[in-house]
Structures are given as structure tokens and as C-alpha cells.
Amino acid sequence: MSKLSSQDIEKRLLRFPDWEYFDNAIHAEFEFENFKDCFSAMSRIAFECEALNHHPNWSNVYNVLTISLSTHDVDGVTEKDFNLAEAIEAIVEPIDE
């Protein structure tokens, strides 16, 4: 997996309006109804992470989930991060809306 250029990342981010690129990673914050809903989404995301063998840097406070994705090996963002972001969106969006 090769590191994507800023230009490549910004182009891909047009399809991911929840996500922003800074500090060599892509970041998103999602708000849920309550802790249970938030942690349920986290559990579903955790399974995707294992399936993709790619893991986020993420934090949670009550109903808010903050996620940063980057690829450690290249110290930047790769297709792996966008694959995981896409999987996360598929989980979060139906709950979030």
C-alpha cells in the first residue's frame, strides 16, 4: 500500500463529507443518541477492522465517537484507510441519520 498524496486524499474525500485530512491522517466525529448506540456502532466497526486487518485511533465520550485513520507503515494515508472509512460510513450513516 503506497502513501497517497495530499491531492489524492482531498480528491477521495469529496466522497466522504464527514472526514477531514490533517496531521497525516483522516478524521471524523460522529454523534449518536446515547452511549449504547455509540458503543453498538463501535462494536460493528471493530469487526470490520479485524476483517480488514486495519485499526483506527479512536476515542469515545458518552455519545460521541472520534476516529482517526492512517497507515502506520507509511506514516500517512493509504487506500486501506479509505476502505475502512467506507466500511465505517456504511455502519454509522444509517444510525446517525
Residues forming the site for its own copies (CB under 8 A): 35-36, 39, 42-43, 46, 49-50, 55-62
CB 97 to its own copies: min, Å:
23
CB 47 to its own copies: min, Å:
9
Strands 20-22 and 25-31: antiparallel
- Report how far residue 20's alpha carbon sits from residue 26's, in angstroms, rounded to the nearest whole number: 5
CB 62 to its own copies: min, Å:
5
Kindly tell me which of 8 and 58 has the beta carbon lying closer to its own copies: 58
- Report how far residue 88's alpha carbon sits from residue 82's, in angstroms, rounded to the nearest whole number: 10
